[in-house]
Every structure is written in structure tokens, then in C-alpha cells.
Amino acid sequence: MCKIYKILYAVVPVRRWRNALIRRHFEGCPECAGEYEVSWELGQTLRPSWIEKSSSLWPQVRHLIEMGEKSPAPRPKSRSLLFRAPRWALGAIGAAAILIAALGYFVFVANPHKTVKLEASKSDVRMEASPRVLVISVALKGKPAKSFIYQTPKASFIWITPSKEIGG
């Protein structure tokens, strides 16, 4: 459609005047007249006359209804959000719950570090309760030597080793 048509369509508010002016414009504008003809034909092609004249589809639809279900299922009254959620959402919630349970098991039940810490603290208590050890001297091959005393956190014993001979 040409610019004049667009202006007429946009500017003239009263439909009757607008249509009259557009019709008059079509008489003098072959471009608009051609496009109007095509759009009219398009309308006719997309909605042919047989559609309005065709007999009612209700008898066939009723037959299908009678052949199939008698009536649609009644609308469910009120369902909680959990039941209205789609299946994939329920599946995701289930998977997340399993994952959290598994993590909880590993963190609180089967974590070896936690157990070691507990055991270590127990051994510390035991150590404190036991009598103190006093190392007076360390000898290597009958000669006095420097001592190295070591206790690992989880061990319940003290490791004493001569590290170097002391001459004399």
C-alpha cells in the first residue's frame, strides 16, 4: 500500500469516512487497488465460502464422545503444590534429597578425619592422666648422646632416639 493509504488509515478517525476516502483513493491508485485485490482474494482463499455453509460437526463429535469417554474427568478440587509439580521437578527434589543424605553420611558418620581427631583427643586425655616421664640421660654405645623425643598426635607412646653421639 502507498503512503497516501497509510496516512488516510491513520488520520481519519471515523470508519465510514475513512472507507469512502480509501475507496476513492483505490480508484486512482493501481498499486493500492492491486494489493487490495490480492488481500481480498487471500481472505477468500483462507476462509472459503464452504466453511460457513458446512454442516455442523457436532453429530460426529458426539459420536466420538459416545465411542470414547462419556464425559471429561471432573476437575480436581484442590491439589497441593507438591502434587501439581511436574514429574521432572519431583525427580529433581528426590535426587537432591538423596545427595544431601549421602553427603551427611560421609561428613558426620564415615569421615575418618573426624574419628582420628576424636581418638587423638581421647589419647591426649589418657596421656595427661598417666604419670609423667622424665628422661634423665640418653646413651649411644655406652656414651652419652643427644636425644630426640617425638610423639605423633595419634600415638599413645613417646619415641625417644639418640640423634648424635656426644664425645667424651
- Min. distance of Cβ 5 from other proteins in angstroms? 16
Taking residues 37 to 76 in sequence order and writing x for each that binds other proteins by CB under 8 A, - otherwise, the string is -xx-xxxxxxxx-xxx-x-xxx-xxx-xx--xxxxxxxxx
Q: Count of H helices and E strands in the chain?
A: 8, 3
User: Between residues 56 and 137, which has the closer beta carbon with respect to other proteins?
Assistant: 56
User: Between residues 48 and 94, which has the closer beta carbon with respect to other proteins?
Assistant: 48
Supply 39's cell numbers: 488481500
Measured from the Cβ of residue 119, the count of other Cβ atoms closer than 10 Å reads: 13
- Asked if 81 interacts with other proteins (CB under 8 A), we say no
User: Between residues 60 and 111, which has the closer beta carbon with respect to other proteins?
Assistant: 60
Following CA atoms 25, 29, 30, 32 in sequence, which dihedral angle do they give, to the nearest 10 degrees?
-60
Whether the CB-CB separation of 147 and 138 falls below 8 Å is answered with yes
Residues that bind other proteins (CB under 8 A): 38-39, 41-48, 50-52, 54, 56-58, 60-62, 64-65, 68-76
